[in-house]
Amino acid sequence: MNPVGKPGKTGSLMPVEVALARLLEMAEASRIVEREFLPLAQVQGRVLAEDLVSTLDLPPWPNSAMDGYALRLADWTGEPLVVSQKIFAGQAPEPLQPGTCARIFTGAPVPAGADCVEMQENAQVQADERVGFIETMVMGQNIRPQGQETTVGELILPAGTRLGPIEQGLAASLGCAGLHVVRKVRVAVLSTGDELIEPGQALGPGQIYNSNRVLLCSWLQRLGCEVIDAGILPDNLQTTRAKLGELKGVDLILSTGGVSVGEADFLGIALREEGELALWKLAIKPGKPLTFGHFRGVPVIGLPGNPASTLVTFALLTRPYLLRRQGVQEVEPLKVQVPAGFDWPVPGNRREYLRGRLENGRAIIYKNQSSGVLRSAAWADGLVEVLEERSLEQGDSVYFIPLSEVLG
Ligand code: AMP
Ligand code: MG
């Protein structure tokens, strides 16, 4: 059975893509323009601030793709050829003497006058050290031409590219010792809740350990952000005001908790007093309530406190926002379509992101999908997207977002 669509019960909830579009618009309007020049080894996870244009041809000269013999095809008549030089990688060869061949090794420059390399497995060295060839050869074979990969002036990586090991390797191949990158986004992380204490302390009555703080701080670091760990904020207006006032010079205040309906929303009150506030009810599960606002001009994102809600709203909304603030265009994770390995009989009015795994090519889901259960995400390899107002049977198609796509 294909996913069944029922007319909108989603009603007043904001669709995920609308929330994302709004966040990205705001990120675009406050793009970070400062940049810094960093040694190539330090650019991992950062965003390129200007186009990288090649100043080289790659390879810079034709070179051999094989260990073998370089020759001019027209010189091969079937009579063995004298070996007139030996060329190793890193050497500058003489032009090929007409009527001879050159012993050549992988990566070595092909001498001027040669137009073909035959691999050593197809060569027969005679008693007199001349070399014959046993296979038909064609012009250009086993030669990597100059500029095959890149030519001078070509755009290699556009500004806004996220840099990782592959981009670092590519920049190195072009001789770049460093790159201009967008300066780090400075993110202050706040955990709100009277019930929270830090690991290492003894748990008192009614208390729980703060898991969101370390989860977000290390995730932000993986995203190339500078993290200002602002600790735990009690559910109290005075402290909330004072703490927000202390957070100067940051690009984003990211808080968790305190945004659920019904709870005294001190963050919201503080934002209303000295900034602006939008409270969104999103068609997303886990993670319905989300706060976006400004405090004295600094953007604030308030995520719901349940750890799985924090995770999903950070992955799908905050991460793209942070990347776009650095100028990244492609901010949404790759999704792959896979058959569901589970039934989903009752449609929901929010888009669900179930913590799941791929098993034999099918998406299966963790047994407990409660938004308080972070263990579901540790078990999972990805988020299984079930659209609002849909039911599913095993074998129906669902989107799977690998966690590896969003964690870095
Ligand atoms: P809230 O969004 O503040 O209503 O919190 C929703 C649920 O998430 C409550 O059960 C909280 O105790 C829990 N929670 C909030 N913040 C955290 C946190 N930093 N670490 C672990 N659980 C949290
Ligand atoms: Mg709370």
For position 111, which CATH number holds? 2.170.190.11
Whether 205 and 250 share a structural domain? yes
Whether 220 and 83 share a structural domain? no
Mean pLDDT of 62-75: 98
- Give me ligand 2 centre to Cα 263, in Å: 7
The pLDDT > 70 percentage for the chain reads 96
Contact 110, 64 (CB under 8 A): yes
Kindly tell me if the per-residue pLDDT of 299 is higher than 50. yes
d(CA 289, CA 295): 19
Q: Is the CB of 327 under 6 A from ligand 1?
A: no
Whether 257 and 377 share a structural domain? no
Q: Total domain count for the chain? A: 4
Q: Give 340's strand partners.
A: 363
Q: Is the CB of 208 under 6 A from ligand 1?
A: yes
For position 42, which CATH number holds? 3.90.105.10
Kindly tell me if the per-residue pLDDT of 261 is higher than 60. no
Lowest mean per-residue pLDDT among 137-141, 267-271, 295-299, 399-403: 267-271
Whether 341 and 274 share a structural domain? no
Domain with 110, as residue range(s), is 63-144
- Give me ligand 2 centre to Cα 265, in Å: 9
- Give me ligand 1 centre to Cα 18, in Å: 25
Q: Is the CB of 299 under 6 A from ligand 1?
A: no
Whether 108 and 228 share a structural domain? no
Whether 320 and 354 share a structural domain? no
pLDDT, tens digit (0-9, with 9 covering 90-100), for 160-198: 999 999 999 999 999 999 999 999 999 999 999 999 999
Whether 42 and 161 share a structural domain? yes
Q: Is the CB of 259 under 6 A from ligand 1?
A: yes
Residue 273 lies in a domain: yes
Instruction: Determine the pLDDT at residue 263.
Output: 54
Q: Is the CB of 100 under 6 A from ligand 1?
A: no
Residue 268: pLDDT band by 50, 70, 90 thresholds? Answer: confident
For position 188, which CATH number holds? 3.40.980.10
Whether 113 and 161 share a structural domain? no
Point out the ligand 1 atom lying closest to the alpha carbon of residue 259.
2
Point out the ligand 1 atom lying closest to the alpha carbon of residue 309.
8
| Residue 315 backbone class (left: φ over 0; alpha: ψ -120 to 50; beta: rest) | alpha
Kindly tell me if the per-residue pLDDT of 7 is higher than 80. no
Residue at token pair 């849909």: 390
Mean pLDDT of 31-58: 98
State CA 287 to chain mean position distance: 23
d(CA 244, CA 227): 15
Point out the ligand 1 atom lying closest to the alpha carbon of residue 235.
3
Is the bond preceding 59 in cis, omega lying within 30 degrees of 0? yes
Whether 188 and 176 share a structural domain? no
pLDDT, tens digit (0-9, with 9 covering 90-100), for 96-127: 999 999 999 999 999 999 999 999 999 999 99
Q: Give 282's strand partners.
A: 14
3-state helix, strand, coil in the chain (%, to 5): 20, 30, 45
- Give me ligand 1 centre to Cα 300, in Å: 18
Whether 207 and 75 share a structural domain? no
Contact 117, 64 (CB under 8 A): yes
Q: Is the CB of 257 under 6 A from ligand 1?
A: yes
Residue 113 lies in a domain: yes
Mean pLDDT score across all residues of the chain: 95
Q: Is the CB of 256 under 6 A from ligand 1?
A: yes
Residue 117 lies in a domain: yes
Q: Is the CB of 286 under 6 A from ligand 1?
A: no
- Judged by its nearest atom, the ligand closest to the C-alpha of residue 289 is 1
Whether 106 and 49 share a structural domain? no
Residue 311 lies in a domain: yes
Instruction: Determine the pLDDT at residue 262.
Output: 52
d(CA 48, CA 56): 19
Instruction: Determine the pLDDT at residue 89.
Output: 97
Whether 256 and 342 share a structural domain? no
Which of 197, 208, 236, 371 for a ligand 1 pocket mutation test, highest count of atoms within 8 Å of Cβ?
Answer: 208
Q: Is the CB of 210 under 6 A from ligand 1?
A: yes
